[in-house]
C-alpha cells in the first residue's frame, strides 16, 4: 500500500508520541462537527507516517 506524500509526514514521524497525541486532541477539541481540510491533512500525514503494524507484534 502506498503512503500519501505529505509535507508534514516526515515532521510528524519524528515527533514524540505525546506531541502527536496533543496535536490530535487539539484538533478534536476545536472540532465543530466537521474537520477542516487542514485537520484532515494533519490526520492523513500522521497516519501515513506510522510504521506498518506487524501481525506478530503483540
Confidence of residue 1 (pLDDT cuts 50, 70, 90): very low
Q: What is the structure's pLDDT at 45?
A: 84
d(CA 2, CA 7): 15
Domain locations along the chain: 7-49
Each residue's pLDDT tens digit, 3-56 = 455 556 656 666 667 777 777 777 666 666 677 788 788 888 888 888 877 766
Q: What is the structure's pLDDT at 38?
A: 82
Asked whether 40 and 27 are in contact (CB, 8 A), the reply is no
In the numeric block, which cell numbers belong to residue 6? 505529505
In the numeric block, which cell numbers belong to residue 58? 503483540
Which residues touch 27 (CB under 8 Å, ≥6 apart)? 35, 39, 42, 43
d(CA 30, CA 14): 24
Amino acid at each position: 500500500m502506498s503512503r500519501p506524500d505529505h509535507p508534514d509526514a516526515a515532521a510528524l514521524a519524528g515527533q514524540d508520541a505525546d506531541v502527536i497525541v496533543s496535536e490530535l486532541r487539539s484538533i478534536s477539541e476545536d472540532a465543530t462537527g466537521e474537520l477542516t481540510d487542514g485537520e484532515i491533512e494533519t490526520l492523513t500525514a500522521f497516519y501515513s507516517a506510522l510504521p506498518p503494524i506487524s501481525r506478530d507484534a503483540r
